[in-house]
Structures are given as structure tokens and as C-alpha cells.
Amino acid sequence: MIIKAYEYEKIKKINKKIFLFYGENNGYKNQIVQKVFIDKFKGTIDRYDENEILNNYDSFVSGLTNKSFFEEFKLTLISRVTEKIIKLVNEVSDRKINDVNIVLNADILEKKSKLRIIFEKDKNLICVPFYRDDNRTLIGLASNFFKYKKISISQEAINLIVERSSGDRMNLENELNKISNFLINKEKISIEEILKLTNLAENYGISELADNCLAKNLKKINKIFNENVFSADDCILIIRTLLLKSKRLLEIKKIDNTNKNLDEVISNYKPPIFWKDKQIVKNQVLKWNLKDSEKLISKIFETELNIKKNYMNSLNIVSDFIINTAK
């Protein structure tokens, strides 16, 4: 059974035991798990990685079925699940274990994924997809945050925070909390203070790399690679930053193809583009045609999947993709 992420209140009312949360929006996933399962929960909470379960399968299942006399209910959170977890899903369902909730956390699952299909078709299982937030959603979250905190901040500063958060709700939430703690005795914050306070300045190399990739500036790209020590852990952030900016490029190309003035299109784009970024965005639009910019989105998704399958070689995969895209 499929439930949309924004319908999470339904989960509280449904008497089901096994849940599959999948998708790339980990920040949103964590929020819903906290709201639906963890807040006000008074029983035992166990957290596992899939490999821990598979390596100790019999003892894990035994622990689910044999609880302490003092335990009323269990909540079991299992991260990084794959199709290998299907055996556990079937066993728990067959045994009708009633005093436990099991929440499975998976990354992106394709439509043909056996795990996804099982959860979507079975009325006794709950499947919740978590897709990436777009800029408009994140800007709304940031705006509401500052409004609730009664903090005076310009729209330009909000746009900057969201853009440098690379489309990740968890990144955004972390930066907003830092700003909130900084402003205990203040009611206003400037762009300069935001850059100093948060990790946005540290992530600028990644943002600049994505921008120059789309602007096809190989000289600048090589300089960024030489001046920054990127790790395998940075690769997902790099590719998702590139995806975010590529989606913006595609939207602008679609508008620009109606023979409108490009400078006017960029100035009126929503959410607004930070003034310092307007020139490079213009350069990007001039370098790409509509058909190729559409193909680029698909190539980025394919590259992200390739990175996840080949983590040890992910930095080479990303650097090759960035350079080839810019040629």
C-alpha cells in the first residue's frame, strides 16, 4: 500500500507493522520517522543496518518474537535496506508478530525493484516514497522557519541558504538551526554573517564546480579540482548539486525558447537567482540547447546510481562525468 509522504498523519491511524521508507530525501525521511514513530514512543527502540540483521538473522528474529516481560512494544529501525531484506519481511508477516513496528529505510528504488513492488501491492505493508524537494519547497520551509522565529532576513539571504544547501532538507535544517542558535540575542542577520556562520562557504567549491560544468569552463573546472581535496563522501553532494542546477537550467531554457529576453527571464526566475550568480547562469543557458539539457538530467541520475554501486571509484566517476559534460 502506497502512502504519500505529506499524508504521514494517516500512518499513525493505520494498524500496520512493517513500513518501507525509500528515496533520496533523507532529511524528510528522518523528520517523518521522528514525528510518526519516535516522538512520544515509550517502548524499546532498536536501530540496525541491514548487514547486521543478515549476519545475525536467526538471533534477530528470535529477539523480535521473544520480548522481555517488562516490554510493551518495540520499534525497530533498519537502514540501508536492499532486496535482501525481503526474507525478513515475509517471515514477520507470516508469523503475525503484533507487538513491533519495523521501519525499513532504503535509498532510491526503481519501479522494477522487487522490494518496492511487494510493499506497493500488499495491503498489509506500507510504502512511502520520499522524493527530492525542489527549491520552492525549501524556500518555503526556510521562510516559515524565520517567520516563526521572528527573525528579520532578506529574501536574497534565504535564497542563498537554500541554494547552498544543495537541495537537501537535512542540510537546510542543520544550517537553519545554527543560525537560530547564533541569533539568541539578535533579530537580524546579514548575508555576510550567514556565510561565516554556516558551512555554505565550505560547500562553495562544490557549487562552483557544478556551475562551471554547466558553463563548460574546463579551465575553471581543473582549477577547482586542483584547489579542493574532494573525497568519495563528497560525490553524492557534487552530483546532486549539479542536478539541482541542471533542473534550473532546463526550466530557463524552456522559457527562453519562447523568444523572450534572456536577461529578463533570469531576473524574473522564481525562486530568484542570487545576483552574483546571474552571469554564470546566463553563460550556462547560452551553452546548452533544450534537447541536450533534457538528456543531461537523465545522465546525472544514471551517474548517481553508478556512484552508489561503485563507491570506491566514485571520485573518478564524478570527475570524469564533470569533465566530459563540460567538453
pLDDT over 70, % of the chain? 91
Domain shared by 32 and 97, yes or no:
yes
pLDDT of residue 184: 67
Q: What is the pLDDT of residues 197-220, one digit of tens each?
A: 665 555 567 888 999 999 999 999
Q: What is the pLDDT of residues 21-49, one digit of tens each?
A: 998 888 888 888 988 888 877 777 888 98
Domain shared by 233 and 316, yes or no:
yes
Cell of 35: 514525528
Question: How far, in Å, CA of 205 to CA of 111, rounded?
Answer: 34
Domain shared by 320 and 287, yes or no:
yes
Q: What are phi and psi of 129, to 5 degrees?
A: -80, 145
Domain shared by 18 and 107, yes or no:
yes
Alpha-carbon torsion (154, 158, 161, 163), positive or negative: negative
> CATH number of the domain that 20 lies in?
3.40.50.300
Please determine, for residue 64, whether its predicted confidence score (pLDDT) is greater than 70. yes
Q: What is the pLDDT of residues 158-182, one digit of tens each?
A: 888 887 776 778 778 878 877 777 7
Top-confidence residue, 129 or 276: 129
Please determine, for residue 71, whether its predicted confidence score (pLDDT) is greater than 90. no
Q: What is the pLDDT of residues 252-303, one digit of tens each?
A: 998 877 767 888 888 888 777 877 788 999 999 999 999 999 999 999 999 9
> CATH number of the domain that 139 lies in?
1.10.8.60
> CATH number of the domain that 281 lies in?
1.20.272.10
Domain shared by 35 and 16, yes or no:
yes
Cα dihedral angle (133, 177, 43, 49), rounded to 10 degrees? 60
pLDDT of residue 69: 47
What residue numbers bound the domain in which 248 lies? 204-326
pLDDT of residue 67: 60
Single out the residue in 197, 226, 245 at which a domain terminates.
197
pTM of the model: 0.57
pLDDT of residue 120: 94
Single out the residue in 129, 154, 182 at which a domain terminates.
129
pLDDT of residue 114: 95
Domain shared by 142 and 122, yes or no:
no
pLDDT of residue 35: 86
Q: What are phi and psi of 97, to 5 degrees?
A: -75, 120
**Which stretches within the chain are classed as H helix?**
9-13, 26-33, 50-55, 57-65, 86-95, 114-121, 135-149, 155-164, 169-182, 191-197, 204-214, 218-227, 235-256, 262-268, 278-287, 290-309, 314-326
Domain shared by 148 and 208, yes or no:
no
Domain shared by 160 and 221, yes or no:
no
Domain shared by 213 and 317, yes or no:
yes
Domain shared by 306 and 227, yes or no:
yes
Domain shared by 67 and 16, yes or no:
yes
Please determine, for residue 135, whether its predicted confidence score (pLDDT) is greater than 50. yes
Single out the residue in 82, 100, 129 at which a domain terminates.
129
Question: How far, in Å, CA of 27 to CA of 22, rounded?
Answer: 12
Domain shared by 61 and 109, yes or no:
yes
pLDDT of residue 280: 92
Chain-wide mean pLDDT for the chain? 85
Please determine, for residue 246, whether its predicted confidence score (pLDDT) is greater than 60. yes
Query: What is the total count of domains within the chain?
Result: 3
